[in-house]
Amino acid sequence: MPKAKSDKEARSKKTTVASLLKGLEMFDIGHNPEKGVAKAGPDGTPARGVRIRAGQRMRRDGVMTRTEGPAWMKSTTIANVKDWLGLDIYNKWVKSRERMVSDAVSHKISTTDHTRYPAISEIIPNLKKRFILRIPPELNPPQPVCLARWPGSIKREEAKRLFQLWDDLVNPSDGRAFVFHTPDADNRSATPAAHFGCWCHYTNTPHITADSLPEDPIVAERLRLFLEYVGATIVPAAGNILEQIAPAQLGVVNKLQEYCLEECGESLRSRKWLQFQYFVTMAVKEGSSEKSHLDLMDWKDWLTLVFSIGTYESDSFFVLPQLGLKVNMRPGDGIAFLSNHLMHWATYPTDGRRLVFTCFVDKITFLRVFGQQR
């Protein structure tokens, strides 16, 4: 008698990538349903002893209601992704961009044409500017959130100052410009990225990235000023998002920071501007990563955060083929997503400039501290 198939095998057979790319069929949509918590008085005002707190409102029928979760969630769209197996299909097999593209083509998924994918606002009705796509717990995901957008994370005046400091660093009038050291993985972009902080790339123990240690003292001082302002703007914006949607990640990063300080010693302790409280490494670049890719050196279970600032007004899409959608990134927006699981690329705006900050947890550094236990 043949052995019964496991639920996982059954779902794997039933689910295909093609079936996922059908918009609403992929998501369970929820707009934070409200629950009645108290009746109002006969005149329609709250009954004695009942206060309207943050996240609550009084409906016309006299029932006091509250938005599930904290107050900010009342202006947030939350949807559940129905099947994690389809999203995770690449992470189990892909070892190179070439293999990823080959697999994508075999599943009839475009890795170059963003017009093949609708904007998320076309898929989810009444989508709010802030949204979260969750993976239901019963699907046993490594991370409960696979994608989120946090609009207005960086203020306009903050973005202006960040650009000024960036130009001082890479386009100085005296010609003493910052030199990019990190090679571009898979030649995925026409523009270089600088990587700051610590990681374990190319070595067995964490070290400060080459981009973080300019030899020219003038360039080093300009980098310090730039990263100190990043620490006052981008870093707390990343922390705000993680505290709301992935608080467990914060405790893990604290241990990673301690490990990096222990291994790098005084060279890191004396450079506070390289100690990012909510992540270990940050990439900065002007432009976008135009080629589809997976960030296989990011830790697979934790969210990567991307912040876009600039002077552009045209559309700039963050494309996620496995989700069958794209997200229009406006200046100041923050995006959190599983960069090791979700294939992605970005389109460059047709007007203005854009500077992108990518905040992530290096996979090898994580494994040095936690091994395979998580």
Q: What is the pLDDT of residue 202?
A: 78
Q: What is the pLDDT of residue 299?
A: 86
The listed range with the strongest mean pLDDT (50-54, 69-73, 357-361) is 357-361
Q: Fill in the DSSP letter of residue 273.
A: G
Q: What are phi and psi of 339, to 5 degrees?
A: -70, -20
Packing angle of the helix pair 217-245, 156-170 (nearest 10 deg): 150
Instruction: Give the model's confidence band at 358: pLDDT under 50 very low, under 70 low, under 90 confident, else very high.
Output: very high
Structure-token match 């093609």, residue found: 18
Q: How far apart are CA 361 and CA 25, in angstroms?
A: 32
The listed range with the strongest mean pLDDT (46-60, 185-199, 354-368) is 354-368
Q: Are 77 and 313 in contact (CB under 8 A)?
A: no
Predicted model pTM: 0.82
Instruction: Give the model's confidence band at 22: pLDDT under 50 very low, under 70 low, under 90 confident, else very high.
Output: very low
Structure-token match 């990011």, residue found: 298
Instruction: Give the model's confidence band at 301: pLDDT under 50 very low, under 70 low, under 90 confident, else very high.
Output: confident
Identify which has the larger pLDDT, 137 or 227. 227
Q: Are 206 and 262 in contact (CB under 8 A)?
A: no
Per-residue model confidence as pLDDT tens digits over 256-279: 999 999 999 999 999 999 999 999
The average confidence (pLDDT) of the chain is 80
Per-residue H/E/C for 115-168: HHCCEHHHHCCCCCCEEEEECCHHHCCCCCEEEEEECCCCCHHHHHHHHHHHHH
Percent of the chain at pLDDT above 70? Answer: 73
Dihedral angle of Cα 185, 186, 190, 195, to the nearest 10 degrees:
-10
Tell me: pLDDT of 46 over 50: no
Q: How far is CA 166 from CA 15, 83, 125, 261, 331, in A?
A: 46, 41, 38, 26, 16
Instruction: Give the model's confidence band at 327: pLDDT under 50 very low, under 70 low, under 90 confident, else very high.
Output: very high
Tell me: pLDDT of 177 over 50: yes
Q: How far apart are CA 151 and CA 137, in angstroms?
A: 26
Specify the DSSP element, H or E, that contains 355. strand 354-360
Q: What is the pLDDT of residue 88?
A: 64
Q: Are 193 and 283 in contact (CB under 8 A)?
A: yes
What radius of gyration, in Å, describes the C-alpha atoms of the chain? Answer: 22
Q: What is the pLDDT of residue 100?
A: 75
Identify which has the larger pLDDT, 4 or 80. 80
Instruction: Give the model's confidence band at 23: pLDDT under 50 very low, under 70 low, under 90 confident, else very high.
Output: very low
Percent of the chain at pLDDT above 90? Answer: 43
Identify which has the larger pLDDT, 87 or 364. 364
Q: Which two tokens stand for residue 367?
A: 């494994």
Mean pLDDT across 155-177: 97
Q: What is the pLDDT of residue 184?
A: 55
Q: Which two tokens stand for residue 283?
A: 């990439």
Q: Are 149 and 158 in contact (CB under 8 A)?
A: no
Q: Are 145 and 133 in contact (CB under 8 A)?
A: yes
Q: What is the pLDDT of residue 150?
A: 97
Q: How far apart are CA 195 and CA 214, in angstroms?
A: 12
Instruction: Give the model's confidence band at 161: pLDDT under 50 very low, under 70 low, under 90 confident, else very high.
Output: very high
Dihedral angle of Cα 15, 21, 25, 26, to the nearest 10 degrees:
70
Domains (ranges, CATH) in the chain? Answer: 1-45+57-374 (3.60.130.30)
Q: How far apart are CA 132 and CA 147, in angstroms?
A: 6
Q: What is the pLDDT of residue 187?
A: 53
Per-residue model confidence as pLDDT tens digits over 330-346: 999 999 999 988 889 99
Tell me: pLDDT of 42 over 50: no
**In b/e form, how buried is each residue of 14-51, taking b as 16+ CB within 10 angstroms?**
ebebeebbeeeebbeeebbebeeebebeeeeebeeebe
Instruction: Give the model's confidence band at 65: pLDDT under 50 very low, under 70 low, under 90 confident, else very high.
Output: very low
Structure-token match 């976008």, residue found: 288
The dihedral built from the CA positions of residue 161, 211, 202 and 269, taken in this order, carries a sign that is negative
Q: Which two tokens stand for residue 50?
A: 């009942």
What does DSSP say about strands 130-134 and 76-81: parallel, antiparallel, or unpaired? Answer: parallel
Q: How far is CA 279 from CA 13, 274, 309, 359, in A?
A: 37, 11, 19, 6
Q: Which two tokens stand for residue 270?
A: 């004396």
With H, G, I as helix, E, B as strand and everything else as coil, classify residue 362.
Answer: strand
Tell me: pLDDT of 54 over 90: no
